[in-house]
Structure 1
């Protein structure tokens, strides 16, 4: 497995858009796959936000994760967010999400980010708790109850 930036493999955009639509299409804005593809073009960055890190095995896309600005508008003071962590179903349970999250943390440090936030529907924090994220609070956001977490870098 290798980790690369979306900026170095923009051909992954259609697959990521499909994953997002299939997994989270019923949440929030309900954008089409085509609209998501257009939005993902903003993530074609190497050293500034927003950006996406991909996990690949040869030409096969295994998963991805985002580092972005202001995911939840109810927290204007929380600038940097981990989001869209997704691993293809046939590759789950292999540590890929762990590697993606750690790669996002490393990239965030590299570009001078001091803390990262996230939201998850897993109120135990799951993987994120194991990786050192701390719970902030549980809130209902766009009709969905989530755990907000933070990790200082």
Structure 2
């Protein structure tokens, strides 16, 4: 079966599924960073069902089945301040791994950020998946700690103009 990547704004009924998957995987970090419960986080994801601004969420569907997701978010203050926007919540269902879906979701998020006029993106990841992002042109900025875990802070330069509101963030 084929998949397609689209905005959560086009399929808002999938917001709860996106939130559940992300919170199941990273709920400990989300709670440590923000104090949010799973239900609070579901509301955050619902607010990302937009296409015209960050934060936003993209989803991958196989038919009508949710099989992956990625978000653009404004910040990640526990990792680094004054950088924006960030890739967050990139995940692919186990049965879809190894089929290029993660790279496709990442590319779609990069394209969305460029369309919105951002010149750079940031992310943090566990060091053991740093190579995944490196294959797509992401560069290590530094290793740091976030919520008690070691992470790799990475960046990627995009094509596009820098919006006035974030011109000092690069």
Q: Which residue of 1 aligns with 2:131?
A: 126
CA drift of 1:33 comes to 2.7
RMSD of aligned Cα (Å) = 1.5
| TM-score normalised by structure 1 residue count | 0.93
Q: Which residue of 2 aligns with 1:94?
A: 99
Give the number of the structure whose residues are more often strand, by fraction. 1
Structure 2 residue aligned with 1:59, among 45, 53, 64? 64
Residues 74 and 63 of structure 1: CA distance in aligned 2, closer, same or farther (over 3 Å): closer
SS of the equivalent of 1:125 reads helix
Farther-moved stretch of structure 1 (115-124 vs 30-39): 30-39
Q: Which residue of 1 aligns with 2:26?
A: 24
Any idea what the Cα deviations from partners look like across 1:45-85, whole Å, max 9, x if unmatched?
Answer: 11111101111111111100001111235533211101100
**2:78–2:147 Cα contact (<8 Å) kept:** no
CA drift of 1:18 comes to 1.3
Structure 1 residue aligned with 2:75, among 61, 64, 70? 70
SS of the equivalent of 2:28 reads coil
Moved over 3 A (4+): none
CA distance in 2, matches of 1:124, 1:28: 19
Give the number of the structure whose residues are more often helix, by fraction. 2
Q: Which residue of 1 aligns with 2:55?
A: 50
**2:74–2:84 Cα contact (<8 Å) kept:** yes
Residues 69 and 90 of structure 1: CA distance in aligned 2, closer, same or farther (over 3 Å): same
CA distance in 2, matches of 1:28, 1:109: 26
Q: Which residue of 2 aligns with 1:34?
A: 39
